[in-house]
């Protein structure tokens, strides 16, 4: 009798994993934006966005004014944002100096932000001078 109970116990123990293995897996679920970072489906992560403006002829008399904005978003909402770089590059008979740069709209807690940067440049090509001001704008769009 003991042997029979032992055999029944072993068979029962082996039957449980076999029944679990035979269970049909759940169907794949298509859930869209709710599964890719949250309800709104907006961008999540950190990156930079930039704008630049150039003047003159490279290597001869050339200036480039740039503005770089760094930001992070979660579900399309800005969690941090700021000016990462604002500067000028120049070559040859040109010179560029940056002025002020500031945030003009949106920002943390919003879905967008905008920034502007100013610079002044001067140069000469073939003895003919050129000069002016440069304004570059960076806009971080919603999403």
- For the chain, give the mean pLDDT: 83
Confidence of residue 38 (pLDDT cuts 50, 70, 90): very low
Query: Average pLDDT of 134-139?
Result: 98
pLDDT higher than threshold 50 for residue 30: no
The candidate with the shortest Cα–Cα distance to 91, out of 130, 60, 131, is 60
What's the pLDDT at 137? 98
Query: Average pLDDT of 93-104?
Result: 97
pLDDT higher than threshold 60 for residue 63: yes
What's the pLDDT at 143? 82
Query: Average pLDDT of 72-90?
Result: 96
Query: Average pLDDT of 11-15?
Result: 52
Greater confidence, 95 or 32? Answer: 95
Confidence of residue 14 (pLDDT cuts 50, 70, 90): low
Contact 33, 79 (CB under 8 A): no
Helix (H) or strand (E) holding 19: helix 2-21
The candidate with the shortest Cα–Cα distance to 115, out of 77, 78, 68, is 68
């Amino acid at each position: 009798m003991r042997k029979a109970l032992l055999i029944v116990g072993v068979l029962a123990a082996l039957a449980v994993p076999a029944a679990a293995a035979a269970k049909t897996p759940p169907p794949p679920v298509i859930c869209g934006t709710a599964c890719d970072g949250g309800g709104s489906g907006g961008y999540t992560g950190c990156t930079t966005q930039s704008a630049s403006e150039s003047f003159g002829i490279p290597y001869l008399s050339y200036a480039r004014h740039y503005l770089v904005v760094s930001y992070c978003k979660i579900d399309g909402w800005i969690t941090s944002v700021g000016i990462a770089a604002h500067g000028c590059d120049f070559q040859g008979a040109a010179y560029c100096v940056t002025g002020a740069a500031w945030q003009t709209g949106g920002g943390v807690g919003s879905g967008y932000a905008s920034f502007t940067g100013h610079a002044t440049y001067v140069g000469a090509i073939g003895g003919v001078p050129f000069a002016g001001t440069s304004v570059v704008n960076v806009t971080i769009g919603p999403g």
